[in-house]
Amino acid sequence: MASRSARVSRERPFYLRHADAYDELITDPVEPWVAAVHSRAPGADLLDAGCGTGRHAAAFRALGHHVELADASPALLALAARRCPGARTHLVDLCSLGLASAFAAVTCRGVLNDMITDGERQAAVTALAAALRPGGALFLDVREEGAARRRADGTEHTRTAGALTFTSRTTWRDGLLMVDERYGDAAYHFRMRPWSAGELEARLTAAGLRVTEIGPGAGRRTPDRLFVVAQAPPSAA
C-alpha cells in the first residue's frame, strides 16, 4: 500500500470507523451508472475498482455479470464482500493493481479524484488499463474541474446516519478541492483533484486506451461529474 490515496482510504473516518454509515449517507441511486455500463458491455466479467461498499457490484451481479471487488479500505471491502457473497476480493492500491489482462470491463466510479499527484493519477489509469483484456472497456466517473470549482463554495452540508452527525465543507485552492469533514467531535481534512477532459484524454491515451466517450455523469445529482469510456485495443491476432 504505497500511494497517498491508498493511505487516505485506510484512515479517512468515512472509510474506516464510520464505514457502516456510508450507505446511509450516500444515497444516490445505483441504477443509472449500472445501466450505463451494462448497456455498453452486457454480461462482461468486470472488476469494480474502488468498489466502496459494493452497492454497484451487487447490482451488476444481479444483471448476470461476474464481478470482482477491489479497494484499499479493508472496512469498505469487507462490507462489499458481505453484500456480494462469493465474489473475489482484492485489498489493493489501485496505483499498483497488478491484475494483468483479466477483465472485459473495469469500472471505477468516484475514485480517481482521490489521486492528487500526477504520478498517482497516471499509475492508477495505467494499472486499470492493464487489467483489461484486449478489446475491453474502462468506465470512469470523475469530477470535472470547472464545475467542481464552482460548486466548492464553502457551504456546510450536514447529514445524519443514526446517532452520527456528518458535516462536510469544500473549498477550492490551487486546482484542488479542500474538504473538511466532521463526524460528531472528530475532524478530518483531505484533498481531491478533479479532472479535465484534456487530462483524461492524455492519461488514457498514454495508458494505451482509446477514449470513445466523455459526457455528463450517469445519473449524478450534481453537474460536476463526467462519464468516460475508453477501449483497449483488440488483440493483434
Ligand X SMILES: C[S@@+](CC[C@H](N)C(=O)[O-])C[C@H]1O[C@@H](n2cnc3c(N)ncnc32)[C@H](O)[C@@H]1O
Among 59, 76, 84, 214, binds ligand X (CB under 6 A): 76
Distances (CA, A) of 98 to 92, 94, 131: 9, 8, 7
Instruction: Provide, rounded to whole angstroms, the least separation between the CB of residue 124 and ligand X.
Output: 7
Contact at 8 Å (CB) between 5 and 64? no
Among 47, 111, 177, 207, binds ligand X (CB under 6 A): 111
Size of interface with ligand X, in residues (CB under 6 A): 20
Rounded to 5°, the CA angle 87-22-107 comes to 45
Q: Where are the alpha helices (DSSP H) in the chain?
A: 4-11, 22-25, 31-40, 55-62, 74-83, 118-130, 145-151, 197-206
What is 103-118 written as a DSSP string? EEEEEEES-GGG--SH
Contact at 8 Å (CB) between 166 and 18? yes
Using CB under 6 A as the binding rule, whether residue 170 contacts ligand X is answered as no
- Minimum CB distance to ligand X smaller for 83 or for 149: 83
Judged by CB under 6 A, which stretch of 110-118, 174-182, 214-222, 224-232 contacts ligand X?
110-118
Rounded to 5°, the CA angle 169-171-173 comes to 150
Instruction: Provide, rounded to whole angstroms, the least separation between the CB of residue 206 and ligand X.
Output: 18
Q: How many Cβ atoms from other residues are within 10 Å of residue 223's Cβ?
A: 12
- Minimum CB distance to ligand X smaller for 30 or for 164: 30
- Minimum CB distance to ligand X smaller for 183 or for 234: 183
Q: Which residue is nearest to ligand X (CB)?
A: 52
Using CB under 6 A as the binding rule, whether residue 95 contacts ligand X is answered as yes
Using CB under 6 A as the binding rule, whether residue 52 contacts ligand X is answered as yes
- Minimum CB distance to ligand X smaller for 58 or for 237: 58
Contact residues toward ligand X (CB under 6 A) are: 3, 5-6, 9, 15, 50-52, 55, 71-73, 76, 93-95, 109-111, 114
